[in-house]
Amino acid sequence: MLIDPNYAAKHSPTGELIQHPLFVVQVAFYCIENGSGSWIRSPGARNPGQKIELFEPFKAGETISMTVSPFDKWIRRGKHYITDKLDFYNQYGVHKATWWLTLILPPNRSAMLHFARL
């Protein structure tokens, strides 16, 4: 039901493919590749945990847009955290999902450059 349109047509309650709950990941990386940058691709960044809220499933044929907003940043036990809020909308402006994307970043520019130059 996640990948086979013919199977989904027979067995899915909507008759359509069903979105895997983490499909927002693919959408986010695609959007970032084609739009403004973010910290998400930073070499040396670490993933401490993520929160994803899904309001309405994506549907095949929709055009999804994503906005990225700085949400929070903090230092805890010497680690530098940052959270961006990623919001996903379809072509009609329907809010489909929000991903609070948190990363632990290298602590400063030189540390970031260190990883980038390796």
Partner 1 sequence: MADITFSRVNIGDELPEIAHVVSQEVIDRYAVASLDYNPVHTNIEWCERARVFGTPKTVGHGMFTMSLMASVVLRAWGAAAPRIRCIEAKFTKPVEVGSRLRCFGRVKELHPIGPGRNFVVVELQAVDSTDAIVGVASAQVALPD
- Close Cβ partners of 26 (under 8 Å, ≥ 6 residues apart): none
* Nearer CB in complex with partner 1: 53/72: 53
Name the minimum Å distance from CB 67 to partner 1: 18
Tell me which stretch binds partner 1 (CB under 8 A): 20-28, 66-74, 76-84, 85-93. Answer: 20-28
Interface of this chain with partner 1, residues 45 to 104, rule: CB under 8 A: 45-55, 57
Coil/strand/helix, residue 7: helix
Name the minimum Å distance from CB 39 to partner 1: 11
- Close Cβ partners of 30 (under 8 Å, ≥ 6 residues apart): none
Integer distance in angstroms from the first to the last C-alpha of the chain? 42
* Nearer CB in complex with partner 1: 22/60: 22
- Close Cβ partners of 87 (under 8 Å, ≥ 6 residues apart): 66, 67, 69, 95, 97, 98
Among 4, 5, 9, 26, interactor with partner 1 by CB under 8 A: 26
Judged by the rule CB under 8 A, the positions of this chain that interact with partner 1 are 1-2, 11-13, 18, 20-22, 25-26, 29-30, 33, 40-55, 57, 115, 118
